[in-house]
Amino acid sequence: MITASVGGGFGRSGSGGGGGGATVHGIDPLSGKTLWTYSNWQCMIPVPSAVDAGEGRILITGGYNAGAAVIKVEKKEDGTHGVAELFKTTEFGAHTQPPILYKGYFYAQYTTNERSDGMVCMSIDGQIKWKTSRSPAFNKGGSVLADGLLLSVDGSTTLYLIEPDPSGFKPLASAVLLERGENWAPIAIVDGKLLIRDQKQLKCLTVAQ
């Protein structure tokens, strides 16, 4: 078992790189030993956790013009690990919440301090399939995947139920449930109960059929 950990520091904002240094480390959780390090990605304040994309691939994302990178980790014959960059892009990213991977496609809210792309769908090889931009304007809200559907807060007042489909944005239902504000908290679901919150209150919703 290997844990991928993203770390960064404060720095000046640079064009296309987000400023500041950021490194991704593969760590043996039993010994704490660093097995590999990737450093060819820049983000001033990396917040979203890395996403396991299967087959040794890892997606890392951030705001501050950092965009995203996909790397691939492989174990060598001598027992050491190598890491290779598959691609980087500024057309996909996430500021606060990690993207969700479903059937070979990533879904993330990519409205940051610098751009308003809304919810974005990207294939596992880096092809952008669609963006909602400001219609709707998804802005750093939490999302979860349940029974093949996305439940996603738009970062403000509204909860959406979405069919994840690379052919286009497909909202199935929506409801205004929160007070307006920067509602960026993660959301959680268990046994058909969904927990969401704004700056003043926590709500528990029944979302099962």
- Domain spans in the chain, listed from the N-terminal domain onward: 1-90
Q: Which residues are paired to 5 by β-bridges? A: 25
Over residues 115-140, the mean pLDDT reads: 96
Over residues 117-135, the mean pLDDT reads: 97
Work out the pLDDT band at 13, boundaries 50, 70, 90. very low
C-alpha span between 10 and 82 (Å, rounded): 27
More confident residue, 114 or 195: 195
What SS3 state is found at 166? coil
**pLDDT tens profile 128-185:** 999 999 999 999 999 999 999 999 999 999 999 999 999 999 999 999 999 999 999 9
C-alpha span between 195 and 86 (Å, rounded): 36
**pLDDT tens profile 60-76:** 999 999 999 999 999 99
Q: Write down how long the chain is.
A: 209
> CA 16: distance to chain centroid?
18
